[in-house]
Chain A
Amino acid sequence: MRRIWKGQTLFMVWATLVAVGLAAPFVVYPVFAINVLVMALFASAFNLLLGYTGLLSFGHAAFLGSAAYATGWAAKSWGLGVLPSMATGVAVATVLGLVFGALALRRSGIYFAMITLGLAQVVYFLIVQMPWTGGEDGLQGIPRGKLIGIVDLGNSFAMYYFTYAVFLGAFWLIQRTIDSPFGQVARAIRENEPRAISLGYDVQRYKLLAFVLSASLAGLAGSLKAIALQFATLGDVAWQRSGEVVLMTLLGGMGTVLGPSIGALLVVTMEQYLASLGSWVTVITGGVFVVMVMAFRKGVVGEILALLRRTR
């Protein structure tokens, strides 16, 4: 029964995603949709670490932002094409992920989170100090260029579908990782680390691998953001951005596949449409946090799934 249910869910998930995604730029402003996808990718990458491996990182913005700046620099100053620039960004995020992981994973729980936060602050500082990042003006005017020299990404629709393709690809990768033996071990570590150790798994290596993968994918989101929105700014490396991704994951449902993406959709939409309310946005965001933690810990998707399971 469960296997069939799982197969059905999976199909429904994919069908919904594909349909909504294809129709999106005709319904909403394409740049808004791109923003949602980039954040959804960021949150999904983050969830790989939090929901599936049980590690809370407070410094994920470092990966998003450093990749965005690296990609921007590669495209703007070295004149690299779209794919090579993005590859540069992802590479930077991956290396950073390795460094962060090696340092932070020596501790667990809240200490781990604090180390990631501290390291992210150092990255922020370094980026501010480097003259080529443009300080608080950020890196602007990043060219969109032509994909493989053919498709002009200057067109909003083309840019959107490219973003969507990358998102789907990354999402598929995350899905496969979760379902793989590696993903199973990661979940075991989250559930009961001592038992996983006693079963003979090299827990540290698994954690590091999960961390680096999460960082790379967050970097992919950052690279995409830089090309699509054409700038990289300090906001992408600030600790508030790290907090935002935690909110998205929590809101959508950590430990679910679609959750972070839904969370990203909700948060980006909220920020967009509440923009004219000024300080109330902060109060509302905080209120949402409180309500989610007290009453809806499973997040939107999680609660829906639980509801569906109950009605069966």
Chain B
Amino acid sequence: MKSRFAVIAALLFAAGVASAADPKVSDDAVRIGVLTDMTGYYSDLAGPGSVEAARMAVEDFGGKVLGKPIAIVSADHQNKADVSSTIARKWFDEDKVDVIVDLVSSSTALAVMPVAAEKKRITLLSGPATTAITGEKCTPYNVHWTYNNWALANGTGREVVKQGGDTWYFLTADYVFGKSLEEDTAAVVKASGGKVLGASRHPSPGTTDFSSFLLQAQASGAKIIGLANAGADTVNAIKQANEFGITKKQNLAGLLVFISDINSLGLPTAKGMYLTTAFYWDRDDDSRKWSKRFFEKTKRMPTMVQAGVYSAVSHYLRAIQAAGTDDADAVMARMRETPVNDFFAKNGRIGPDGLHRHDMYLVQVKTPEESKYPWDYYKIAKVIPAAEAFPPISDKCPNVKK
């Protein structure tokens, strides 16, 4: 009797030890939270599309990692920093979410990053633009995946000046994002030998009529009108610039433009514009294959934000697999060690500041005659290699060992 008891006890003990030695997945599942703008200004370039991209990543990975299921939850942060922060807290505290993806706008990202860092959970940002994310506000548990203001300013700014557009006038959205984009681009323009002739700051959101600001841009005589705004503002400004004949003598440079914007503008209005992007669906066979799958599910071609979400989630899952655990420190280390190689990026590397450095593309919008099939919008003018496309590691980031 005693010996049988001993055997059972030994077996139980062994089982306990064995399960402790098993790969550790917290709470028996990997939960991915897609926190994005579902109903507001950014819902088309991220939103439900981002959720779908995350789902595709999980599906392609097999739905399980280290033998445990992967679950996806999603929510609408309505572009409000307080809503994002509250949802993030709840997800981390109550719902055992392990990683938050997307976040799309800079203010929501900056609100959620410290919460995640405090609780040792990971944030994978696809969409926010401010360079502070990998600068003074960086955290050890964050990856800034897709693009940032510097990359945009550098790509579009430098290249356009090189092509002869050396006098600039800015049309800027009067809030933090717009002003910082203007600042970054102005710096690049001046560094490349160009001049900034002036700027008009328009209230945002709330401006539908840009005619008076465009008039000022026209009066300045600048060769290039830089649009330091996004979404509906950019689209309206471009439309009205065309209407007022401004595009006959001056060129527009959209500093943050997504393929969804071009789709809603139409090629006749958008043609000829230069912009910098991290991803174009028609770039090569790999990107086409994935994008066509995305199109089947959402009826739209993916924006760089949505493609970035897929890529980030896949990389994250692979890192868990390789590290044998979903513990944040181990996974972050693995993600930084491993280069990113998928349809989104070739040889992308995540630095100690959390910035994912990969190639960017300077593209030009095609004319209606050049476009042969739906969504055939861009021609790739230049591939900007990762080392040039992104800023060097910022010494403002506390993570970085000096």
Contact = CB atoms under 8 A, between A and B. Distances in A.
Contacts of A230: 85
A136 B203 CA distance: 12
A231 B175 contact: no
Contact of B81 (A128, A137, A279): A137
A35 interface: yes
Given A29-B90, A233-B81, A278-B76, A136 B107 contact: yes
Contacts of B81: 136-138, 140, 231, 233
Interface in B98-119: 106-107, 110-111, 114
B66 to A, nearest CB: 27
A32 to B, nearest CB: 7
A194 to B, nearest CB: 40
A108 to B, nearest CB: 29
Quick one: which of A128, A138, A141 has the most chain B CB within 10 A?
A: A138
Nearest to A278: B38
Interface string B296-336: 00000000000000000000000000000000000000000
A136 B176 contact: yes
Contacts of A233: 80-82
A136 B175 contact: yes
A279 B90 contact: no
Contacts of B208: none
Interface string B1-43: 0000000000000000000000000000000000000110001
Contact of A35 (B38, B43, B86, B106): B86
A282 B43 CA distance: 14
A141 B114 contact: yes
Interface string A261-285: 0000000000000011011011000
Contacts of B75: 275-276
A138 B86 contact: no
A235 interface: yes
B82 A235 contact: yes
Contacts of B47: 278
A169 interface: no
Nearest to B35: A275
Interface string A179-199: 000000000000000000000
Given A135-B175, A136-B175, A279 B107 contact: no
Interface residues of A, number: 24
Given A137-B106, A275-B75, A279-B38, A31 B82 contact: no
A79 to B, nearest CB: 20
B87 interface: yes
B39 A282 contact: yes
Nearest to B90: A29
Contacts of A128: 175
A170 interface: no
B285 interface: no
A138 B82 contact: yes
Nearest to B94: A29
Given A29-B93, A138-B81, A279-B38, A229 B86 contact: yes
Contacts of B83: 235
Nearest to B47: A278
A276 B51 CA distance: 11
A81 B117 CA distance: 26
Interface in A232-283: 233, 235-236, 275-276, 278-279, 281-282
A276 B90 contact: no
B74 interface: yes
Contacts of A231: 81-82, 85, 111
Quick one: which of A128, A229, A275 has the most chain B CB within 10 A?
A: A275
Contacts of B86: 31, 35, 229
B83 to A, nearest CB: 8
Nearest to B109: A137
Consensus secondary structure, chain B interface = helix
Given A233-B81, A276-B76, A137 B107 contact: yes
B254 interface: no
A140 B110 contact: yes
Given A137-B107, A233-B82, A31 B90 contact: yes
Contact of B82 (A29, A32, A141, A229): A229
A24 B82 CA distance: 22
Contacts of B90: 29, 31-32
A279 B39 CA distance: 6
A220 B86 CA distance: 21
Given A276-B74, A276-B75, A31 B89 contact: yes
Nearest to A138: B81
B354 interface: no
Interface string A103-114: 000000000000
Interface in B59-89: 73-76, 80-83, 85-87, 89
Nearest to B86: A31
B107 to A, nearest CB: 4
A241 to B, nearest CB: 11
Contact of A140 (B48, B87, B111): B111
Contacts of A137: 81, 106-107, 110-111, 176
A32 B48 CA distance: 25
Contacts of B110: 137, 140
Contacts of A282: 39
Nearest to A225: B82
A128 B94 CA distance: 34
B17 to A, nearest CB: 36
Contacts of A141: 114
A141 B47 CA distance: 27
Contacts of B93: 29
Contacts of A276: 38, 73-76
B76 A138 contact: no
A29 B86 CA distance: 11
B50 to A, nearest CB: 12
Contacts of B111: 137-138, 140, 231
Interface in A132-187: 134-138, 140-141
Given A134-B176, A136-B107, A276-B74, 6 more contacts: A29-B94, A136-B81, A136-B175, A137-B176, A231-B85, A231-B111
5 contacts: A29-B90, A138-B111, A235-B83, A278-B38, A279-B39
Interface of B: 38-39, 43, 47-48, 73-76, 80-83, 85-87, 89-90, 93-94, 106-107, 110-111, 114, 175-177
